[in-house]
Amino acid sequence: MSVLKQAPWQADALLLLVTVVAASGWIFSKEALAGMPPLLFIGTRFLLAGLLLLPFAWPALQRLPPRRVRRGVLVGFLFSAAIAFWILGLSYSDHLGESAFINSLGILLVPVVARLLFGDRPPRSTWVALPVALFGFALLSLNAGFRIEASQLLMVCAALCFALLINVNTRVVRNVPALPLTTLQLISVGSILTCLSLVVEHQPLALSPSIVGWFMASVLLASSLRFFLQIKAQGMTTPSHAAVILMLEAVWTALFAAWWFGETMTLLQLLGCSLIFTALLINRWYWVRKVMLRWLPSAQR
């Protein structure tokens, strides 16, 4: 059966919805950070999201051998580092669209990390895409007067951690079903970062009804619903096909930030983000072409 037949339009529609929900999560999170310390926000958000998924994952979790449960929890430590860098970068960021494109570099770095740590051979498209992405990031740093801002550096660290996390997930816990694995990791991240927040963060809470509303939107929509839909959609298609559509998260985030916060991009920011997105397309060109042929049947003629 061809790859395209394994990826029905329902999967594409769900994945597209996932990118919209995930992009909305950037807005929800930024708004909630106005009244909550970053680590406390992301820790309690993931903990509650994991607990909401727990009843659905519990039957599968009960059937898992203890060693696989331990592996899932241990990978959660790496997930904690990635999401901690992300939320700290978001808290410093004045340009959500730019931050989203920098964070999307994690997709490009997956085969590079696999080469460095596991000896895998990346496709040639990766080596073509990498300098394009680096040039795009250089333009973003030029926008700040040829210096890397704290938010940019933190997002790069998050992208590296996410690239490592994806590699580890596919090797260490490859035999763990997606729903129990996601639940384990969400609860692990939530527990770790909530405890860390209690130790290192001293920012007082300013919980107004609107802050609580943004927090609950982050938990219910951007975490629980997003991961549930993503798991369902990824079960209907191939990982590479899904990755192509999930790249749209950065585009949606930039559009939503422009609409909600009135963000604008300078010419250097626009060029830098465009080059990063171009690099992502180059890196996944084989699968991008397949998605285009599916969505535009006339292009096959």
Token pair 């369902």 is found at 232
Neighbouring residues of 9: CB distance < 8 A, sequence distance ≥ 6: none
- 191-245 pLDDT, tens digit each: 999 999 999 998 888 889 999 999 999 999 998 888 888 877 776 766 666 677 7
Angle, in degrees to the nearest 10, between helices 267-283 and 105-118: 50
List of residues 6+ apart from 96 with CB closer than 8 A = 26, 27, 30, 90, 253, 254, 256, 257, 261, 263
Span 22-43, pLDDT tens digits: 999 999 999 999 999 999 999 9
Which of 46, 72, 93 lies closest to 189, judged by CA? 46
pTM of the model: 0.87
Amino acid at 278: T
Contact partners, residue 204, CB within 8 Å, separation at least 6: none
In the DSSP assignment, the letter for residue 203 is P
**pLDDT (0 to 100) of residue 118:** 80
d(CA 97, CA 210) in angstroms, rounded, equals 23
